[in-house]
Amino acid sequence: MRPVKNIFDPAAYPDLLVGLTEPDDAAVWRLSEEQALVITTDFFTPVVDTPYEYGAIAAANSLSDIYAMGGKPFLALNIAALPDNLPLEISAEIMRGAAEKAREAGVVIAGGHTVKDQEPKFGLVALGFVNPQKIISKSGLKINDALILTKPLGAGVITTALKQEKAEAAHIQEALESLLRLNKFAGQLANEFNLRGGTDVTGFGLLGHSLEMAQASQVALEFEFAKLPFLSGAKSYAEKGIFPGGAFDNKKHFGEKVHIENELSEALEMLLYDPQTSGGLLLGVPQIKLAEFETRAAELGQSVWVIGKVQGGSGIYIR
């Protein structure tokens, strides 16, 4: 982002509430005192073998950044880079999967753009609305907040096992259900409880995105490993050394600021750096609201796990 920052002075764009300064999940542009536009984009190569599910997962992943900012998505555009020899029925299924997932979210896909590429890539540009006073950001955590996660971890390991034809059918199915699940109700919860600190856990893994939040909020985050939720099979695949390459990149980039109190096996430690696709939201919930938050989550059918807390200091601590 440095070349962009060198061209665009944030002070010259007072209505750009989020975008040029600290990294966050989406850009936010103020339209009025009560409404702002949330804009984001994301796309990636296939993580599953079936084109319909690939499109639907890509849509859920793209829309997640809107929810992570406290927004409500309403409009999207397709972004596709597809081989020119890809059968039409496959590309149609990718876009149908995305369209039906968008419709589930209350979003309309109003066009897009396609180019040729040797390896398929697909995603969305997504737009949403948010009240400028109710933006959720990586800088919004407060000391003593409980840390809540809304989806289990390990999707990167399982989709890598799938690509290597080493994944069990039951594990693939559970992972698919998680990947396809919108963060719609998680976002609704965050709004109902007026939360201010949050992000979604995606390519940088749990620890990478957590460190971004810790640095932006000028706090330290403490996680209890025993309370972290993992998809079935994730630990066993990890023990076999099945990881996407991004996990090692994440550890190299973020690892020096992560402190592990009790020795973990290398495999379990690496799981915390596992890149996620369409991951859950990581939210800071004030302790006084926690019990009511969990009750409301159960009413909405939204899984939540209390995995740690915010404390003074800096960095990430694994207990």
User: 16 and 145 in one domain?
Assistant: no
Please give the pLDDT value at position 309.
98
Please state at what angle helix 245-254 crosses helix 205-217, rounded to 10 degrees: 30
Please give the pLDDT value at position 21.
78
Residue 311's domain comprises 137-318
Please state the domain count of the chain. 2
CATH number at 209 reads 3.90.650.10
User: 126 and 13 in one domain?
Assistant: yes
User: 25 and 168 in one domain?
Assistant: no
User: 188 and 225 in one domain?
Assistant: yes
Please give the pLDDT value at position 245.
93
Q: What pLDDT tens digit does each residue of the chain (319 aa) get? A: 566 767 888 888 999 999 877 778 899 999 999 999 999 999 999 999 999 999 999 999 999 999 999 999 999 999 999 999 999 999 999 999 999 999 999 999 999 999 999 999 999 999 999 999 999 999 999 999 999 999 999 999 999 999 999 999 999 999 999 999 999 999 999 999 999 999 999 999 999 999 999 999 999 999 999 999 999 999 999 999 999 999 999 999 999 999 998 778 999 999 999 999 999 999 999 999 999 999 999 999 999 999 999 999 999 999 9
User: 177 and 258 in one domain?
Assistant: yes
Strand order across the beta sheet in which 198-200 lies: 198-200, 281-285, 146-149, 305-311, 220-223, 315-318, 258-260
Residues 6+ apart with CB under 8 A from 129: 35, 36, 37, 38, 71, 72, 74
User: 304 and 205 in one domain?
Assistant: yes
User: 216 and 123 in one domain?
Assistant: no
Please give the pLDDT value at position 5.
67
Question: Do residues 278 and 224 touch, judged by C-beta distance below 8 A?
Answer: no
User: 161 and 22 in one domain?
Assistant: no
Q: What is the pTM of this model?
A: 0.94
User: 292 and 151 in one domain?
Assistant: yes
User: 50 and 123 in one domain?
Assistant: yes
Please give the pLDDT value at position 293.
98
Residues 6+ apart with CB under 8 A from 72: 66, 106, 128, 129, 130, 187
Q: Helix/strand/coil (H, E, C) string of the chain? A: CHHHHHHCCHHHCCCEEECCCCCCCCEEEECCCCCEEEEEEEEECCCCCCHHHHHHHHHHHHHHHHHHCCCEEEEEEEEEEECCCCCHHHHHHHHHHHHHHHHHCCCEEEEEEEEECCCCEEEEEEEEEECHHHCCECCCCCCCCEEEECCCECHHHHHHHHHCCCCCHHHHHHHHHHHHCCCHHHHHHHHHCCCCEEEECCCCHHHHHHHHHHHHHCCEEEECHHHCCECCCHHHHHHCCCCCHHHHHHHHHHHHHEEECCCCCHHHHHHCCCCCCCCCEEEEECHHHHHHHHHHHHHHCCCCEEEEEEECCCEEEEC
Last residue of a domain, one of 133, 155, 177: 133
User: 150 and 48 in one domain?
Assistant: no
User: 179 and 129 in one domain?
Assistant: no
CATH number at 122 reads 3.30.1330.10
Last residue of a domain, one of 104, 133, 162: 133
Question: Do residues 303 and 151 touch, judged by C-beta distance below 8 A?
Answer: yes
Last residue of a domain, one of 79, 112, 133: 133
Question: Do residues 123 and 64 touch, judged by C-beta distance below 8 A?
Answer: no
Rounded to an integer, what distance in angstroms lies between the CA atom of residue 192 and that of residue 283? 13
Please give the pLDDT value at position 163.
92
